[in-house]
Amino acid sequence: MDIDLTAWQILIVKLLIILTVVPVGALIGGYVLHKEMAHMQHRLGPMYAGGWHGWAQTLADGIKFAYKEDIIPASADRRVFSMAPAVIFVPVLLLFLVIPIDRTLIIEDLDVGLFYLLAIGSVGAIGVLMAGWSSANKYALIGALRSAGQLIAYELPIVLSAAAVAMLAGSLSLVTIVEAQDWPFILWPPGIGLALFMLFILGAMAEMSLPPFDMPVAESELITGPFTEYTGMRFIFGFFFAETAHMIAFAGIGTTLFLGGYKPIVPWGPLEVIPGIIWFFVKTAFMIFLLLWIRFSFPRLREDQLQKFAWKFLIPLSLALILATGAWILYGPGG
């Protein structure tokens, strides 16, 4: 079947796909978050909304937030305050453009896909600063400054580990990176693969301000940090959606870079029948589970300890790993 669409129509279809899939994904992700956290804490989680085990809980929350009054503090900087959530949320949406769900199922297969991901991912830091500064609230300001420092510091482990992966695959295009991966995925090159994966996870957790790196939004100190003054839809889009969608995006990116994306786990005959999409979702679900698991288990690092950890340990480690990867490529097996 040949569908002939003009470039504009294709663009609109792609936008619609993102604008529906991502929020729905965030809703499901939020539900998973509630349930996983609940069961790990010896309780049940949402049970009532929607009837069966509270499946409509996040949907109900979203609708509730839509009804809330939009309050902007009197001494806040109105324009910056209103724009900040957008600056945080839109880049997260754009991350989904290049993640390959299957060999041919990708919104836009950019040749510099990885570079695009890393660049777009860092724009959110500005949004956080905007939110904190314009709120005219001392706690929000403290949260924003902590956040800015943290986001900048932890960009590097992500960038460097992704760069190492690109070196191993020989390309920045995400589809090529997935194709270049083979069983046993992160266990190869030995040691280096696992270390890179760990770096990526730690960097991703810090980028998303998840515990143990959630100083900026430390609930017991700063309420919600830079987003304290936000209500209603601005809060939902800037904070909750962004965080959940961001988590899904990073899970997807992690799957693509390290776990083999849409490839079956083991190259064994019967498993190859299962379509790539399923594999991708299984692996992404595993990554999300892992991120959430770490989230509920640890107390939070203090900001200066967090920075020390990044600058004195993670970054030197990632630089060392880049060197090791380079050495592996030149002198290791496979040439």
Partner 1 sequence: MAIKDPELQHLQDSSAFADEVSEGRLVTEQMLLNVGPQHPATHGVFRLLATIDGERIVRAEPVVGYMHRGYEKLVEQRDYRQITNLISRMDWLSGINNELPLALALEKLMEIEVPPRAQYLRVALAEMNRILNHLMFFQSFAAELGAITPTFYAFREREDIQYAMESVTGGRMHFGFFRPGGLKEDVPKGFIAMALASIRKVIERLPDYEDLLTGNEIFKQRTINIGLLEKEVAYAYGVSGPIGRGSDIDMDVRRDEPYLVYDEFDFDVCTAPHGDCFDRFWVLLHEIIESAKIVEQALEALPPGPILGKVPRVVEAPKGEVYIRTENPLGELGFYLVSDGGKRPYRIKIRTPSFSNVSALPHVLRDTLVADMIAILGSFFFVLGDVDR
Residues that bind partner 1 (CB under 8 A): 40-43, 138-139, 142, 211-212, 214-215, 218-221, 223, 296-305
Q: How far apart are CA 196 and CA 202, in angstroms?
A: 10
* DSSP-based three-state secondary structure for 332: coil
Q: Which is nearer to partner 1, 107 or 142 (CB)?
A: 142
Q: Which is nearer to partner 1, 149 or 189 (CB)?
A: 149
**Least Å distance between CB 48 and partner 1?**
19
Q: How many CB atoms lie within 10 A of CB 247?
A: 27
CB 276 within 8 A of CB 102: yes
**Least Å distance between CB 222 and partner 1?**
9
**Least Å distance between CB 214 and partner 1?**
7
**Least Å distance between CB 30 and partner 1?**
17
Q: How far apart are CA 18 and CA 107, in angstroms?
A: 9
**Least Å distance between CB 152 and partner 1?**
17
Angle of helix 138-169 relative to helix 315-331, nearest 10 degrees?
A: 10
> Any residues with CB less than 8 A from the CB of 195 and at least 6 apart, and which?
317, 321
Q: How far apart are CA 246 and CA 26, in angstroms?
A: 9
Q: How far apart are CA 20 and CA 123, in angstroms?
A: 22
**Least Å distance between CB 9 and partner 1?**
48
CB 154 within 8 A of CB 313: no
Q: How far apart are CA 87 and CA 65, in angstroms?
A: 20
**Least Å distance between CB 218 and partner 1?**
7
Q: Which is nearer to partner 1, 31 or 139 (CB)?
A: 139
For the chain, give the longest Cα–Cα distance. 65
**Least Å distance between CB 212 and partner 1?**
6
Q: Which is nearer to partner 1, 137 or 255 (CB)?
A: 137
Q: Which is nearer to partner 1, 162 or 215 (CB)?
A: 215
**Burial of 153 per CB tally in 10 Å (0-12, 13-18, 19+):** buried
Q: Which is nearer to partner 1, 40 or 47 (CB)?
A: 40
CB 131 within 8 A of CB 53: no
CB 295 within 8 A of CB 211: yes
Q: Which is nearer to partner 1, 210 or 259 (CB)?
A: 210
**Least Å distance between CB 202 and partner 1?**
13
First to last CA, the chain: 43
Q: Which is nearer to partner 1, 213 or 279 (CB)?
A: 213
Q: How many CB atoms lie within 10 A of CB 196?
A: 28
Whose CA is closest to 241, among 255, 223, 227, 222?
A: 227
Q: Which is nearer to partner 1, 158 or 292 (CB)?
A: 292
